[in-house]
Structure formats: structure tokens, C-alpha cells
Structure 1
């Protein structure tokens, strides 16, 4: 993706934050979230500080994250990945949708489902 476009810059920002978070570093996420960050996922709190506290203690912070694809436009970045928490063999399929404004993350939505047995998805989950 061309990093001179808004879509390219957005994709690069989210990829970088994803890689840092997957390595256990929350600092880049803190810097990237708007102060008035809005969370749309059930059970997750809105607001930068509340969201960061929540995510630091959540299952995702302890899981192995395997990024499969990134789709971006001028305002949104969508990431599709496998999240494998400790002790779970198949893990979860996750799609995160991030809305960016002024080069920072303003909103988040996600869709999460258990990865089914391979025979249930003959064309593969990822």
C-alpha cells in the first residue's frame, strides 16, 4: 500500500501498533488513541485510559496474535487476525475496525468468533 496516501499512512500506523501490541508493548497504542476514544464492542469501556486499562488485563494482551490481512481507506483500517490465548489450540478469528481522525485512532469495533474445526470451513478460516 502506498504510504503517501491517507489509506497507506493509516494502514502503516495500525500495522505498527498491532506489531508492538503483539510484542507486549502498549505504549504506541496509548499514543495513537484519541483522548476521547470511542469503543463500540460490548463490555469494553470507552475513553483512552479506561480502554487501555481494560485491554492490558484482557485475554488479547496474553494471546499470540497472527495478522492475516489489513484493508484501509482514508478513514478506516480493518485487520483480520488469529488470536490464540494460552491453552487454546484453535483460538479465535478476529476482525477489528478502527476509525482514524487526524492521524489518531478515534473509534473501534470488533467481531470475534471461535475458529471452528477445519472440516467445518473447507476453504479455510483465514
Structure 2
């Protein structure tokens, strides 16, 4: 199990992640997360790329995704040491597609230091099941 700073517990870390998600949805502004991200924050994507705090905040702002009012249904929120894993189903305001999201967050010193994120549109999930089926 990962080492915790003396001031944080797995429950504290879960609370920080929930606070971050709540701030993002309430404001729709990625800058609302900035105080909860460490200066050396890294956002990792499935394609192997990573962004710094400034790069990630700018990319979210440029994406023009209407985050305010996003519906988020948290299915699982688990913590182990300095890591928090969240599986959620999300829907953007209006008629946006439902997505399934897995986030793995690493926290340090009471701040989010890293996040790994996988997003999949629910209506395309069946197509991704075929990779392990034999021909």
C-alpha cells in the first residue's frame, strides 16, 4: 500500500476528489480545480500523452465542453493509500451522449498530483468488446 502523508487518509483523499468534481460541475470552469491541483500535476491519457497542470487546464477550457450542469452518477469511489479510483457515468447537459469514465487519482500533500482517465461513450461500448473474441 502507498505511503500517506501524516495529514491525509484515504477518506480525506476521497473527499478531495469529490470536492474537485463538485467544483468543476458547479462552475463549469476548469480553473475551479486549480487550487486542488499540485503545481507538478500530470494528466495522463490512454494514448500515452500527458499534460501539465497549465496544459490540462487550457485544454479543458479550449474544448468548450459544457461542464456546468453535467449529470454525474458515481458508481464506485474507492481509496487505497494515496490513490482514489472513481467509476462514473456522465451525461452532458441537453442531449449529449452518456459516457462511462474511469479516473485514477494520485494525491499528495492534500492536492491532486496525477490523474489517469479513460472515457468511453456508452453507446459504443459493444464495439470494444470484440478485441478479445476469436475470429
Q: Which TM-score tier does this pair reach, normalised by the shorter chain?
A: 0.7 to 0.9
Question: Hey, what does 1:53 align to over in structure 2?
Answer: 58
Residue 85 of structure 2 corresponds to residue 115 of structure 1: no
The size of the alignment, in residue pairs, is 114
Pairs within 5 Å for 1:1-126: 6-24=9-27, 25-41=29-45, 42=47, 46-58=51-63, 59=65, 61=67, 64-68=70-74, 69-85=76-92, 86-88=94-96, 90-116=97-123
User: What TM-score results when the alignment is normalised by the length of structure 2?
Assistant: 0.70
4+ residue stretches of structure 1 with deviation over 6 A?
A: none
- CA radius of gyration, larger in: 2
Q: Cα distance 1:29–1:114, how it changes in 2: closer, same or farther (>3 A)?
A: same
**Runs (5+) with no aligned partner, structure 1:** 121-126
User: What TM-score results when the alignment is normalised by the length of structure 1?
Assistant: 0.75
Question: Relative contact order, CA 8 A, sep 6+: which one is greater?
Answer: 2
